[in-house]
Amino acid sequence: MNDAIVAVVCQLIDDSTAKRAGGDFREPTHSDIEFLVNKFGLAALDPKQQGQQVGKAKRVRAILHETMVGDEEAGARLVHSLLIKVRACGGFRKGSDNYVGDEAIANAKSAFDSEGFWLAEDGTFGAKVLDGLKGPEMTAALRLYALRAQRGSEDAALLMGTGKDLMEATAAHVLTTIAGRYPESANFKALLGMAFTSLGLAVPEQDAEPGEPPAKELERGLFTAACGANKLRNKGGTGHGRPWTVNVGAAEAKAAIEVAGAVSAYLLDKLQARAR
């Protein structure tokens, strides 16, 4: 979730221009929006339910901006449901009374693409699948997931369409880029260790040397944190559902997601620096 996503979602539901020109209201209605807002427990953030007279775009903008600092996951679920509702109302179908317009759709496609999602002309959407991507395209896609994970986005920790942990996918990409392949049978710790050493990064098994750069201790800490975060993963997962074991609390899950993002971003930065 970012300002660009908020802006394009508001464009998709904004019918103020049509109303000023004497046209009709466009669905989804305020009632539709209220149902979804309440479904995700966001009524307290809704200016209309707090007595303010606001249009649909201003209403949704206020709610989503609040979720960006308070509950980004709930905000993401609201965006998901609003897109489904707009599509169901004919918002992506030319000729429909509820068609949102070419420009609004183009803007939405661009904004979602920059966040690692695809949005089709007919309003269907989803996370970009990493299978089949290689080289710079894979690096760019992984970086988007890493940035989202650093913000605590749970779906970025377990890559949709691949069933791979973000750190695992990043480590495999590092090794493939450097050596042309990676050992598919290696466990997480071994795979990550090979990625670290291939980039010249320190791992805990390597003792500190006199006068070594302070960053080496940071690298050992990142490796340890990555292995700890991975142990919280639900090993029975396949890329869908809750990616954490049943005894993992919300605070631990959020920390593990952010660790995955930080470690993955660090590996990608080092890989990029190596290529220069």
Examine the pLDDT at 47 and tell me if it is beyond 60.
yes
pLDDT exceeds cutoff 90 at 264: yes
Tell me 118's DSSP state.
E
Q: Which of 127, 151, 169 is the last residue of a domain?
A: 127
Show which of 127, 158, 191 is a domain's final residue.
Answer: 127
Q: How far, CA to CA in Å, does 171 sit from each of 1, 134, 183, 195?
A: 26, 13, 11, 5
Instruction: Say whether both 13 and 115 belong to one domain.
Output: yes
User: Residue 137: what pLDDT?
Assistant: 83
| Whether residue 144 is found in the same domain as residue 270 | yes
Reply yes or no on whether the pLDDT at 48 is more than 60. yes
More confident residue, 19 or 169: 169
206 and 262 in a single domain? The answer is: yes
pLDDT higher than 70, residue 237: no
On whether both 102 and 145 belong to a single domain, the answer is no
For residues 26 and 98, state if they share a domain: yes
Buried/exposed code over 190-204 (b: 16+ C-beta within 10 A; e: otherwise): ebbbbbbebbebbbe
pLDDT, average across residues 259-263: 93
Lowest pLDDT segment from 34-43, 70-79, 238-247, 254-263: 238-247
**What is the helix (H) or strand (E) element at residue 249, kind and residue range?**
none
258: pLDDT strictly greater than 60:
yes
Is there a single domain that holds both residue 106 and residue 35? yes
User: What total of structural domains would you count in the chain?
Assistant: 2
**Domain final residue, candidates 127, 144, 174:** 127
Q: Are residues 151 and 209 in the same domain?
A: yes
Examine the domain organization and report whether 84 and 148 are in the same domain.
Answer: no
The average confidence (pLDDT) of the chain is 87
Interval 147-153 mean pLDDT: 78
Instruction: Give the confidence band of 240 by pLDDT, cuts at 50, 70, 90.
Output: very low
Do residues 145 and 79 both lie within one domain? no
Within this chain, do residues 87 and 193 fall inside the same structural domain, yes or no? no
Distances (CA, A) of 225 to 41, 81, 158, 192: 33, 34, 17, 12
Neighbouring-strand partners of residue 127? 117
User: Same domain for 208 and 119?
Assistant: no
Q: How confident is the model at residue 50 (pLDDT cuts 50, 70, 90)?
A: very high
Q: What is the pLDDT of residues 161-193, one digit of tens each?
A: 455 688 999 999 999 999 999 999 999 999 999
Check whether residue 182 and residue 245 sit in a common domain.
yes
Q: Which domain holds residue 156?
A: 135-275
Predicted pLDDT at 154: 64
